[in-house]
Amino acid sequence: MTQRQTSHTEILYHTISNLTRKKRLPHHFLAVIIACLAFYPLPAWAANNAPTFRNVQELSASVALFVPLGLLLLALASVPPAERENAAFSFPAAVGLAGVLYFVVGFALEFGGFGLIDARPDFAALVREWTALSPAWSRYWGMSGLAGFFLAGPAATPGNESLFLAHLPWIITAAIIPLVVTRRYGPTYLAILWGGLSGGIIAPVAGNWIYGGGWLHHLGITAGWGHGYLDIGGLSMVAIVGAGISWATLLAFRPRRAAKLAGPLSLPAIHAPLLAILGSGLLIAGSSGWFLATPLWPFTYFPWEKIFLNLLLSAAGGAFLPLLYIWFFTGEQNLALPAQGLAAGWLALLAGAPFIPPWAAVATGMVVGGLMPIVTALLTSQLNFPDDGGLLTMTTLAGFLGVWAPGLFADGQFGQGWQGVGPTHYLGIAGQGVSGLLVAAGLQPDWPGQFLAQFVGSFAIFLLAFLLTSLLSWPIATIWAKVVGKSPSKA
């Protein structure tokens, strides 16, 4: 009988098990090893396969799932141990609820009209876009797609499947944020409601407005505001939608404090430093997959080196000021502040990474990271919005400031013809791309056009999430108050 050859994976597994059993390896280091195992098949994949663009997209979509996991681990680092299991439930809840509903209905709402703006054969079935306005306006004022439900029938093409895989991590992340932030409030079935609402309706509709040919996509044509609303990395779908759902829930369910806390503002505590380090690392590791997975634009179109450089610079800027603060003002080794600042800086560059110069990426990260401890302390100590995981502050600050950044800092050197605006000339200059207030030498600033598109679009998406959630949360809060015997708005 031929003896079966033991694989490298089995050897590694038994080695880890023996070390852990003999207490030579602390249990909490297993999280790091498991994360590293995610990359273990890559050398064999690279050695045995000729990489194609489709291979890159498939692998990148998997790597992008490190982002929601990283954000969750980073939040768990500051969550009290007694509440950590409840907060950790957010990941399987988001994957299960948001993932299924995005497959059933969300993808159709987001990309049901994508074929109207992209003539590639794979998207030929996605040509149904709904608008509440006159049919004569429907070409530029789309509000929701209506094709591609269940990814079935003519919509079952490789291109549509790639679109689904690329945006699924965005949808999961958008669902995780309110699940973590609002875990202390209201009945437990709110997790099911918010996970489904974000993944099945709110984030997909926002995505339609931005990527699927909806009305924000065309603001450059219809309103003359720059090149229209731009957000290449899903910052609006993730941070602004997550913040809108979270704020609506907290306003409906939180008890109000009778008086503000006296004394100095409290800073977030760190209960599990390893989780903060691991979460930050997974966030950065998932960056490449977050962008490379999407088939929305030609692979060779973007300056990838500039995108990843700006992301890292903004993340570094986000961690820089919190580090100075804890070193020179508090004297504490508080890992929560720089880790949350790093994540906020990274998030803030998702919208405009290829459009702004590196110095602006650093500045954006420093502004967002510098405001993180101040706003977190104000929310917790003065407004009674506990934000021990930092996600409420992080998504609110990074979402709005990050979306506005291209309106100020886009230098005009990239984005020629973006969303159908200025294919050859823009503002009288050949080859000029997306432009804000501070442009490169020899180019014309586009002020306040691009900023108006970013400003109006960000609040429109926030209001979409906030109002839809409020319509459900206030009636539930009223019923819940009668059941538990106290008002959700009074202590």
Residue 285, both tokens:
């590791």
The answer to whether position 31 is within a domain reads no
Tens digits of per-residue pLDDT, 71-118?
999 999 988 888 888 888 889 989 999 999 999 999 999 999 999 999
CA distances from 375 to 313, 367, 440 (A): 22, 12, 33
Backbone angles phi, psi at 87, to 5 degrees: -70, -35
CB neighbours of residue 267 within 10 Å: 20
pLDDT at 288: 85
The answer to whether position 7 is within a domain reads no
The answer to whether position 420 is within a domain reads no
Which helix (H) or strand (E) segment holds residue 88: the answer is helix 81-88
Q: Tell me how many domains the chain contains.
A: 1
The answer to whether position 23 is within a domain reads no
The answer to whether position 398 is within a domain reads yes
pLDDT at 86: 84
Which helix (H) or strand (E) segment holds residue 371: the answer is helix 358-377
pLDDT at 15: 46
For residue 131, give the CATH number of its domain.
1.10.3430.10
Determine the Cα angle at 215 with ends 304 and 170, to 5°.
Answer: 45
The residue written with tokens 């966030």 in the block is 283
Domain that holds residue 290: 60-409+448-484
CA distances from 407 to 75, 229, 351 (A): 30, 10, 11
pLDDT at 264: 54
pLDDT at 336: 86
The answer to whether position 117 is within a domain reads yes
The answer to whether position 378 is within a domain reads yes
pLDDT digit of tens for each residue in the chain (491 aa)?
444 444 444 544 454 455 445 444 444 444 544 444 444 444 434 444 445 556 677 788 889 999 999 999 999 998 888 888 888 888 998 999 999 999 999 999 999 999 999 999 999 999 999 999 887 777 899 999 999 999 999 999 999 999 999 999 999 999 999 999 888 777 777 877 888 899 899 999 999 999 999 999 999 999 999 999 999 999 999 999 999 999 999 899 876 443 444 445 556 678 888 899 899 999 999 988 999 998 898 778 899 999 999 999 999 999 999 998 888 877 677 788 899 999 999 999 999 999 999 999 999 999 999 999 888 888 877 777 777 788 999 999 999 999 999 999 999 999 999 999 999 999 999 999 999 999 999 999 999 999 999 999 999 999 999 999 999 999 988 887 777 755 444 43
pLDDT at 28: 47
pLDDT at 363: 98
